[in-house]
């Protein structure tokens, strides 16, 4: 990011923060372009803090911005400060990933004990919401599904239902491992809830830029609508709009 533009962003953020004393408010009047830009920038900063697991001290944050804007002496060498922040962020991200992994393992361990939940040898868990009576897809079949994906805290990160367009893909590839396994167990017409461990989803890396962080256990509601056709030789599966792999 260009330094001058970064300073401009911070100045807008500072004005937004210093215009009031309530650091916990979540609504404000957006009467001008500056107001709107300030809110959007603040939202983006907050999202980055949440993604990395950082809970900033807003007073210290604003003080640091003001020191820079007022050209006062920095508390440390710029390179040293940058190295410190990078190390802090990496530490915060690692701690969040470890906690996420622990939360997922605890959830799955408890969920496994439920009578209506089946656990496969791989660790995939599923619950039959609606039992279909159609054919079960082979790995080379192209299938069409509707789905909704959420994190353990209930945050919805994707939904073909919201988009109004079923997701079509090759059953044996082009999707995360947990999906591929589940689809090849489901009769057409079925609706299942899938509980997918991180190692059968996006693992330690998560998805680039979010919304799925490292070590996330995922929950999907999946309805298998139909088997479209076997994939012809030489044709690749997958889906450009939302690739689960």
Q: What is the pLDDT of residues 127-172, one digit of tens each?
A: 999 999 999 999 999 999 999 999 999 999 999 999 999 999 999 9
Tell me how far apart the 2 most distant CA atoms of the chain are, in Å.
72
Q: What per-residue confidence (pLDDT) applies to 233?
A: 61
55/92 Cα distance (integer angstroms): 9
The sign of the torsion formed by the CA atoms of 133, 138, 141, 142 equals positive
Helix, coil or strand: residue 210: coil
Do 193 and 126 form a contact (C-beta atoms < 8 A)? yes
Q: Which of 176, 196, 212, 219 is catalytic?
A: 176
Do 194 and 117 form a contact (C-beta atoms < 8 A)? no
161/167 Cα distance (integer angstroms): 9
Q: What per-residue confidence (pLDDT) applies to 239?
A: 38
Q: What per-residue confidence (pLDDT) applies to 240?
A: 35
Q: Which of 141, 158, 169, 196 is catalytic?
A: 158
Helix extents (H) in 122-165: 160-163
Residue 7 annotated to the active site: no
Q: What per-residue confidence (pLDDT) applies to 237?
A: 42
Q: Which run of H or of E encompasses 221?
A: strand 218-230
Q: Which of 17, 147, 169, 195 is catalytic?
A: 147
Nearest Cα residue to 124 out of 198, 189, 221: 198
Residue 176 annotated to the active site: yes
236/214 Cα distance (integer angstroms): 28
Residue 208 annotated to the active site: no
Q: Which of 202, 212, 219, 227 is catalytic?
A: 202
Q: What per-residue confidence (pLDDT) applies to 241?
A: 34
For the chain, the structural domain boundaries read 3-75, 102-230
Q: What per-residue confidence (pLDDT) applies to 88?
A: 86
The CATH fold of domain 102-230: Chitinase A; domain 3 (3.10.50)
148/27 Cα distance (integer angstroms): 29
196/177 Cα distance (integer angstroms): 9
Residue 39 annotated to the active site: no
Low-confidence ranges of the chain (pLDDT < 50): 1-4, 6-7, 18-21, 236-242, 245
Q: What per-residue confidence (pLDDT) applies to 47?
A: 72
Q: What per-residue confidence (pLDDT) applies to 184?
A: 97
């Amino acid at each position: 990011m260009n330094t001058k533009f970064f300073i401009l962003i911070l100045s807008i953020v500072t004005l937004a923060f210093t215009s009031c004393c309530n650091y916990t408010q979540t609504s404000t009047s957006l009467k001008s372009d500056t107001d709107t830009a300030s809110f959007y920038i603040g939202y983006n900063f907050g999202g980055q803090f949440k993604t990395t697991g950082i809970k900033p001290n807003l007073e210290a944050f604003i003080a640091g911005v003001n020191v820079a804007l007022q050209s006062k002496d920095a508390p440390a060498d710029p390179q040293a400060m940058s190295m410190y922040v990078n190390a802090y962020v990496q530490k915060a991200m690692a701690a969040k990933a470890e906690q996420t992994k622990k939360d997922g393992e605890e959830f799955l361990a408890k969920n496994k004990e439920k009578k209506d939940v089946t656990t496969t040898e791989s660790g995939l868990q599923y619950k039959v919401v609606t039992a279909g009576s159609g054919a079960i897809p082979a790995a080379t079949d192209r299938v069409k599904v509707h789905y909704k994906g959420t994190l353990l805290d209930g945050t919805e990160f994707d939904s073909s239902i919201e988009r109004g367009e079923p997701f079509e893909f090759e059953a044996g590839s082009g999707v995360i491992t947990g999906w591929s396994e589940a689809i090849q167990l489901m009769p057409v017409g079925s609706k299942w809830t899938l509980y997918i461990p991180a190692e059968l989803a996006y693992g330690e890396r998560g998805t680039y830029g979010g919304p799925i962080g490292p070590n996330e256990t995922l929950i999907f509601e999946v309805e298998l609508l139909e088997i479209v056709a076997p994939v012809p030789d030489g044709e690749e599966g997958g889906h450009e709009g939302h690739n689960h792999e």
